[in-house]
Amino acid sequence: MQIDNEFRLICSFEQSAKINMAIDKALATTFHKDDTPILRFYTWEKSFTVGVSQKTQDYINDYAEYNENCAKRLTGGGVLFHGHDVSYSLLLPSGFSKELTVKQTYEKICSFLLTFYRSLGLEANYAKDIPAIDLSKSNFCQVGFEAYDIIVNGLKIGGNAQKWSKHVIFQHGSIPINEIEKKEELGNSLQDVGVNLTYAQAIDKLIDAFETTFKATLNPSTLNDKENEKLKGLLDNDNA
């Protein structure tokens, strides 16, 4: 199964957690099976997100330094800290999965991240392919090991998650760029393996990796009227 060649490319910088996650939801809930696939790259204010089944309120007191800059993700998992990372969101028509299991879609989609890390001269493999790693879950997304987590020079960097619906396969993930403070729950960053990039440089290299891996054409885009209307409604309701 081939990933479609033409994509809308949407990039945004230093948004709050609520805005970033509302954009994800607006894109995912307005996407239809015949729409052009979307690849989005974005960065964050200092913030954190939690899995869809969790409550941000349960963590606000523990992480007061984030000033309630937090939101739920569309996907599951634990707490994920932002402000030092580049994230991506990928939206593919549901037909992409016809010949693939969930695990196979992870392996295929995440292959562009392997290309990205290897382009930086790093050794990158899936956790499942490293016998010394015991797969395990954690309340902190950057700490546990799941099968398609990417291990770079022996360290887990970033993570990825999926949500499937009738019309769309939605996947997003985070690539920590800078070490902003050394807490175990923050995990590792590219700086920990000796790579120093600006966010813009990282996004450029991620775009190159995606185009190379999937022979795709990424066409710069912004949210359309339908997506902007949905986004406005989500943000208005959140502030009500």
pLDDT band for position 133 (cuts 50, 70, 90): low
| CATH number of the domain enclosing 190 | 3.30.930.10
pLDDT at residue number 140: 47
237 domain residue, yes or no: no
The β-bridge relationship of strands 124-126 and 150-152 is antiparallel
pLDDT band for position 97 (cuts 50, 70, 90): low
* DSSP β-bridge partners for residue 169: 92, 164
13 domain residue, yes or no: yes
> For residue 195, how many C-alpha atoms fall within 13 Å in the half-sphere facing its CB?
24
User: pTM score, two decimals?
Assistant: 0.91
Alpha helices by DSSP H, listed for 98-198, are 102-109, 111-119
236 domain residue, yes or no: no
pLDDT band for position 145 (cuts 50, 70, 90): low
214 domain residue, yes or no: yes
111-119 and 199-214 are packed helices; what angle lies between their axes, rounded to 10 degrees? 120
Please say whether the beta carbons of 63 and 150 come within 8 A. Answer: no
pLDDT in tens, 155-200: 888 889 999 998 899 999 999 999 866 566 677 899 999 999 999 9
pLDDT at residue number 240: 45
Only one residue has tokens 């729409």, namely: 35
CB atoms within 10 A of CB 26: 21
95 domain residue, yes or no: yes
Q: Is 109 helix (H, G, I), strand (E, B) or coil?
A: helix
Please say whether the beta carbons of 80 and 174 come within 8 A. Answer: yes
157 domain residue, yes or no: yes
How many domains in the chain?
Answer: 1
240 domain residue, yes or no: no
CB atoms within 10 A of CB 178: 17
Domain housing 64: 6-231
